[in-house]
Amino acid sequence: MAETMLLPPVLASDPRFRALGQLTGRISQQDLSPLLVYLVDQVNTELLPVLAEQFHVMGDEGWLLAGDERQQRALIKRAIELHRYKGTLWAVQEVFRVLGIDAELLEWWQQQPEGVPYTFSLKLWANDNWQDKNPLLSAELYHRLKCMVDEAKPVRCSYALHVGARFDQGVYLASAGQVRAIRRTDGHCLPVPAKPIFQPAQLASAGRARAVLRLSMEG
C-alpha cells in the first residue's frame, strides 16, 4: 500500500497503475551496482574478459600479457586512449607501462651511431608480468611481446627487439659443503721391553755310547 500512496489519486484508482506502482517500488529496492559494468575498478572479475573484448584489448592487443587482475583492469581503463594513439611510438611505450614491462625505446636519430630512418630499437624488461608457473623468459613470451609491438607501432617503422629480465634487489647465494683433511704424522716405533721371567729350568738328556776300534793289519 505504501507504493500506491505515491500515485496521484487519479492513477491510484486504476488497478493497473497500482500494480505498476508496486513494481516500481520493488525495483527501486534492488542493488543495481552489478549493472554499472563501466566502473572498471568495481565490476566483477568474471566480467573483465567481456569488457576486454568490447574495448578490443583481447589477445595480442594486451590481454595475454596482463599478469594479474590489476593489470587487466588497468588495460581496460586505458583502452580508449591507447586506440586513439595507436600507430605511434607513444602507444608502444604506454601499453607496456600499463602491463608492468619496462620499455627502453630509441628512435633512429637517437642512436649512436645514427640508425636507418624510420627504425627504432626496443629493449623490454619483462619482470612484473612473470607468473610462477611459467619461465621468466621463453620463446612464447618473446612472440607475444613482438605481436604487441606490431599491434601498437607505426606501420612504416621496423625495429630491433631485445627482451630481458632485470633484478634490482640483491642476490643471495647459499651453498653447503663437506670438508675432509688428511694429516700425515711421522712416527717412531719403540720396542716394548721384555718382562723378565723367573722360573727354574729343568733339563733332561739321554745318550748312547758308541765305540770305534781301529786295528792295524800290517804284518
Single pTM value for the model:
0.63
pLDDT for the residue numbered 200? 66
Supply 170's cell numbers.
640483491
pLDDT (tens, 9 = 90+) of the chain, 219 residues, equals 444 446 777 777 888 888 888 888 787 787 777 777 789 999 999 999 999 999 999 999 999 999 899 999 999 999 999 999 999 999 999 999 999 999 999 999 999 999 999 999 999 998 755 555 667 788 999 999 999 999 999 999 999 999 998 766 665 656 666 656 666 666 665 665 656 656 666 666 666 666 555 555 554
Q: Residue type for 99, please?
A: L
Residue ranges of the domains in the chain?
1-30, 36-164
Distance (Å, whole) CA 165 – CA 51: 30
Distance (Å, whole) CA 109 – CA 29: 62
Q: Residue type for 24, please?
A: T
Give the C-alpha distances (Å, rounded to integers) separating 101 from 22, 93, 107, 136: 54, 9, 19, 13
